[in-house]
Structure 1
Amino acid sequence: METELINTDFIEEAQSWVINNQGLLIEYAVNIAAALLTLIIGFIAVGMLTGGMNKVLKARKIDSTISDFITSLLKYGLLAFVIIAALSRVGVQTASFVAIVGAAGLAVGLALQGSLSNFAAGVLLIGFRFFKAGDYVEAGGTAGTVHSVQIFTTILMTPDNRMIVVPNSKILSDNIVNYSKEKTRRLDLVIGVSYTADLQKTKEVLTRILDEEPRVLKEPAYRVAVNELGASSVDFIVRPWVLAEDYWSLKFDLLEKIKNELDANGIGIPFPQMDVHLFREEKA
């Protein structure tokens, strides 16, 4: 009987509290709903805004490394703003919250100095434009085609389609070799022939091969010359200029054609050899 009285009293008190604080409950419910609505609309708006900005930047021929970096930076900044706005709707003092976040950010920043250096390096890479998306580079101890520059990392794709993620600070602190920066490249080949070979004839064969190859540029002019008298061969340098996109295909084709033409003209290509002389000691 006492339990029923206690339950009845509790229910009556709860009902009385709800009636007396009905306005406050409605206000809290409205604020929570408004905060959730702010988050949902804000996230959707941020996605649409950053996606639209990325499309506009690419439509204006802005390099994708720059557009991706800017949109990523804008996205996270706007998301932070949306979260703060939603918290303010439920009564959280945003000024205090910002101060707390700032203090926490300082502590996290001290603990994550490497990440901050990667971020700063990413800004510098975008600003100085050492490379762009699609360039083939050697950087950070690896090589590949630049896919994108993110806030903290740079994405490279290798010729065999492997993805390499390199910290931005590692790229900036190391040498950067950009093979795609210029439209033309010089192809450097070293062709060794036998010491018994006719050097003039060899030079004529190599020159004719370059003259007949349409991918070899006329300007700058190519060079064919004796470079070194090696241990077992006379080494010619063959240095034609080519378009950057023709570099590898032309290199493979020239090496094959040079070998075939030298064989057809009786010009030998030596390989390292060692003569071993054995002496037999006669017994007394």
Structure 2
Amino acid sequence: MENLENVEKKEITSELHSLTDYLHQLVNWIIEYTPRLISAFILLFIGLWAIRLINRLIKRLMIKRELDPTLSKFLADILLWAMRVLLFITVISRLGIETSSFVAILGAMGLAVGLSLQGSLSNFAGGMLIIMFKPFRVGDTIEAQGVTGTVSEIQIFVTKLTTGNNQTIFVPNGALSNGTITNFSMEGLRRADLTFTVSYDTNIKQVREILLEVLKKNKKVLKKPEPSIVVRDLTDHAINIAVRAWSKTPDYGDMVSEILEEGKEAFEAAGISIQPVVKERSVQ
């Protein structure tokens, strides 16, 4: 019995010594790493404060330089995330973590994400091309990828369009930058190509005089470039009269509507009837 008691006492004593060693190691680790933890937290808070300050200064500088708002936001966001990544690497290196292996892991993760998000990277590159070369700006009316609308926002991956009936369309920047874009707002002026169809019994000179009078009375029609009225087609059923009038881009839609309405009323007052468009039947 005494031998068993001695063995148990030795085991308890050994366990107490092991626990004491672990506690000493823990205390030593805390004493050793506490300054690193404190300095890392201080560096983190100072770094975040400095990043916010630098970001504000850069935005103010871009505003003073009158840079494009979309380009300013894009550059500011990229710089913000670059500074955050740099701060994160600095903080973990302050804690004693090897950054070389960590950077290698980040690189491998970036490669894997890049391969899986090729379409998104294409849209990202397209957004950069649009911002750099400016085929359109916010507020321009464009036609691209089968849709027409006013550009309300150019984001990193997509461009936001608002249609005339107030629908929102998001067009991927990759397809947008590689496709054909018609910008209706870039030049500032637009020409309307309208067609009035009259019968062969109609006096063409009278039609021209009536339409010229309609154009002269319309305040949205510009004097220069001068409008023109010409015979465009002689079909089997009627004569197509082309009306070409210029206006400022914001007035284009109203001008077209007013010319069509006022032209019809002027023809009716003169006893001239507008012929319907007859579609030719295809031979089977």
- Per the TM superposition, whether the score is higher than 0.5 is yes
1:180-191 mapped onto 2 (5 Å cutoff): 180-191=185-196
The match for 1:177 among 173, 182, 188 is 182
Partner SS state of residue 270, structure 1 = coil
The match for 1:90 among 88, 91, 95 is 95
Partner SS state of residue 240, structure 1 = strand
Kept after mapping to 2: 8 A contact 1:217/1:241:
yes
Match of 2:3 in 1: none
Match of 2:266 in 1: 261
Match of 1:205 in 2: 210
Partners of 2:60 and 2:232 lie apart in 1 by 53
The match for 1:164 among 169, 176, 193 is 169
Partners of 1:206 and 1:8 lie apart in 2 by 114
Kept after mapping to 1: 8 A contact 2:55/2:80:
yes
Match of 1:88, as an amino acid? Answer: S
CA apart distance, 1:148: 3.0
Match of 2:66 in 1: 61
Partners of 1:52 and 1:18 lie apart in 2 by 50
Aligned residues: 271
TM-score (norm 2): 0.82
The match for 2:231 among 226, 231, 234 is 226
My pick for the range that moved more, 170-179 or 6-15, is: 6-15
CA apart distance, 1:231: 4.1
Partners of 1:265 and 1:12 lie apart in 2 by 117
Match of 2:5 in 1: none
Partner SS state of residue 187, structure 1 = strand
CA apart distance, 1:52: 4.4
Partners of 1:231 and 1:40 lie apart in 2 by 82
Match of 2:61, as an amino acid? Answer: V
CA apart distance, 1:90: 2.6
TM-score (norm 1): 0.82
The match for 1:122 among 127, 133, 139 is 127
Partner SS state of residue 225, structure 1 = strand
Partners of 1:95 and 1:130 lie apart in 2 by 42
Match of 2:148, as an amino acid? Answer: A
Kept after mapping to 1: 8 A contact 2:197/2:277:
no
CA apart distance, 1:12: 8.9
Match of 2:106 in 1: 101
CA apart distance, 1:205: 0.8
CA apart distance, 1:182: 0.5
Q: Percent identity, aligned pairs only?
A: 36
Partners of 1:166 and 1:120 lie apart in 2 by 14
Partners of 1:199 and 1:36 lie apart in 2 by 86
Partners of 2:224 and 2:12 lie apart in 1 by 99
> Please, what is the CA RMSD of the aligned residues?
3.0
Partners of 1:15 and 1:89 lie apart in 2 by 30
CA apart distance, 1:209: 1.1
